[in-house]
Amino acid sequence: RDAPLILGIETSCDETGVGIVRGTTLLANTIASSMDEHARYGGIVPEVAARAHLEALGPTIRAALAEASVTLDELDAVAVTSGPGLAGALMVGVGAAKALALSLDVPIYAVNHLVGHVGADLLDTTAPLETPTVALLVSGGHTSLLLVRDLVSDVELLGETIDDAAGEAFDKVARLLGLRYPGGPEIDRAAIGGDPRAIRFPRGLTQPKDLVAHRYDFSFSGLKTAVARWVEQREAAGEPVPLADVAASFREAVVDVLVSKAVAACTDLGVPRLLLGGGVVANARLREVAVERADAAGIALRIPPRSLCTDNGAMIAALGAQLMMAGHPPSTVDFGADSTLP
Ligand code: KG4
Ligand code: ZN
């Protein structure tokens, strides 16, 4: 029998994502974003996001079916992000997925958004996921180091941010530099031609004393404050702010900490495999430095293509397919959106 045909729905934040996969083969990845509406406010407005999902979901499902050249009655299952994320936004996807599964009489799989980001790495590659592997998940809401022994049943949290997420740091620093939301791609653009060594910004939780209790934890709020202070001092002195140097130096500090801690986890645990996932993995410099340092340390690195790093439905469908193929029991239809799912 063929691998199962799964439709995945993602509405945890500002992207309405619908993906269709057959097993690990990507057939469609359709995204409608309310990002432009949020950009006016400099960040996500939960109520705006929920309403935008409601409007976009029907057309996005139809577009994904067309892109994959399949019809609803061919689907073997539906997968949906049930958390974590914005409660109102999640509810739109969960409600739609349940309606779809009930009316088609197919199983439904409730999926953890963060594990979904790891699932993105299974798509469009012939290399099966080797376990155990360390996974670094970096998004707008989370920055976590995971030890994945089994994607569907055994994911251990090694460490996480104790304040801001890495993507949040990009968004906040972009804002204080007068750049648009989302900050990650804006900082990437602003950093072109900048010197990453121009300003030595702090690397959070990397001092010997921090490494005892927080070896695999992250902290980015001090870095954000350091950038703010540096810019204020320049402006107070009436000197111009060298935007490219500030952006490149800030980005270097984030990337340096992310990659060093991920590589340290691989080395400490004797696991020579590292997988990256989440929106921040679209970052040009992060991809470069990860390749360099993983190479140097003899670590096999997996990075999903950029289009699968930021939130999308295909990664949710991919994880649903893994659950189904592993014989995992589907979710019962009484599950709800869980905005604080661990
Ligand atoms: O995974 P994601 O799409 O949504 C969440 O689950 O949060 O991640 C969104 C985050 C935003 O903070 C955005 O600024 C960041 O990912 N991001 C980037 C880049 N593209 C998106 N950060 C750094 N560099 C990028 N090129
Ligand atoms: Zn995400």
Please check whether residues 188 and 103 belong to one and the same domain.
Answer: no
- Going from the C-alpha of 86 to that of each of 12, 69, 80, 231, 298, the distances in angstroms are 6, 31, 14, 32, 39
Please check whether residues 59 and 150 belong to one and the same domain.
Answer: no
Nearest CA to ligand 1 atom 10: 140
Number of domains making up the chain = 2
Q: Is there a domain that residue 173 lies in? A: yes
- Distance in Å, CA 307 to ligand 2 centroid: 12
Residues framing ligand 1 (Cβ under 6 A):
13, 139-141, 167-168, 170-171, 182-185, 188, 278-280, 282-283, 310-311
Please check whether residues 158 and 200 belong to one and the same domain.
Answer: yes
Please check whether residues 257 and 140 belong to one and the same domain.
Answer: yes
Q: Quick check: helix, strand or coil at residue 114? A: helix
Please check whether residues 100 and 176 belong to one and the same domain.
Answer: no
- Distance in Å, CA 192 to ligand 1 centroid: 18
What H or E segment, with its residue span, contains residue 219? Answer: none
Range of the domain at 170: 131-304
The 8-class DSSP code of residue 47 comes to: H
- Here the contacts of 211-216 (C-beta below 8 Å, separation 24 or greater) are 214/159, 214/162, 215/159, 215/261, 215/264, 215/268, 216/145, 216/158, 216/159, 216/261, 216/264, 216/265
Q: How many CB atoms lie within 10 A of CB 37?
A: 15
| pLDDT single digits (tens) 228-263 | 999 999 999 999 999 999 999 999 999 999 999 999
Please check whether residues 140 and 208 belong to one and the same domain.
Answer: yes
CATH of residue 283: 3.30.420.40
| pLDDT single digits (tens) 161-198 | 999 999 999 999 999 999 998 999 999 999 999 999 99
Instruction: Give the angle subtended at the CA of 225 by the CAs of 198 and 245, to the nearest 5°.
Output: 20
295 has binding-site annotation = no
258 has binding-site annotation = no
- Distance in Å, CA 238 to ligand 2 centroid: 40
Q: What is the pTM of this model?
A: 0.93
What distance in Å separates the CA atoms of residue 251 and residue 274, rounded to the nearest whole number?
Answer: 21
What is the position in ligand 1's atom list of the atom closest to the CA of 185? Answer: 26
Please check whether residues 57 and 167 belong to one and the same domain.
Answer: no
ipTM score of complex = 0.99
